[in-house]
Amino acid sequence: MKLIVGLGNPGYQYAWTRHNAGWIIVDSFVARLGLGEPRIKFRGSFWGPVLCCGEKTAFLEPHTYMNLSGLSVGEAARYQNLEASDILVISDDVALPFGRIRMRRSGSAGGQNGLRSIIGALGTLDIPRLRIGVGAPDAPVDLADWVLGKIPPAQRRLWGAIEDAAWEALKLWISEGIDAAMSKANGFRLDVGE
């Protein structure tokens, strides 16, 4: 079984913020699969498992707030008896420009507190992750204010192409493995007119 985890914060005030990029992408996936309303399980919204690309797959959006995401993911991983390599974490990344996505098989949290919490809960750096580029501020702005800021309308109009690229990478990760998914995801560059 595979578990796809989208990171974000619960609450209306966080809808369409940069920090909720993982939730936005998972919402897109569950809509494409027609999964409807989630169950509240593992301290979050949980869908599945369902058959996706020939593999039992579940989706989770932790409700623990970003910095405690490991509580939710650790609970789900233990209950489902999952290896870390069977979990894909989707999060925002300020080090990537908007319009880019990047998949990795392992690595540090890179300053992403939700990923740091999950690494701590699972006790390994070897957790596949898909990072959604939200870019860094041009002017001196507190980073917390930046990631908790809303995705601007011009970028929201382009968001569907990011969802499509993430969906293709997800399907490859499930059906062909991390190398095929990285090859597809890491080559994606959205023309944002800059």
Backbone angles phi, psi at 119, to 5 degrees: -60, -45
Q: Partners of 130 in the beta sheet? A: 90, 103
Instruction: Give the tokens for residue 1.
Output: 């079984």
Q: What is the 3-state secondary structure (H, E, C) of the chain?
A: CEEEEECCCCCHHHCCEHHHHHHHHHHHHHHHCCCCCCEEECCEEEEEEEEECCEEEEEEEECCCHHHHHHHHHHHHHHHCCCHHHEEEEEEECCCCCCEEEEECCCCCCCCHHHHHHHHHHCCCCCCEEEEECCCCCCCCCHHHHHCCECCHHHHCCHHHHHHHHHHHHHHHHHCCHHHHHHHHCCCECCCCC
Q: How far apart are CA 41 and CA 60, in angstroms?
A: 9
Catalytic residue among 2, 6, 7, 19: 19
Residue 19 among the catalytic residues: yes
CB atoms within 10 A of CB 56: 14
Positions annotated as catalytic residues are 19
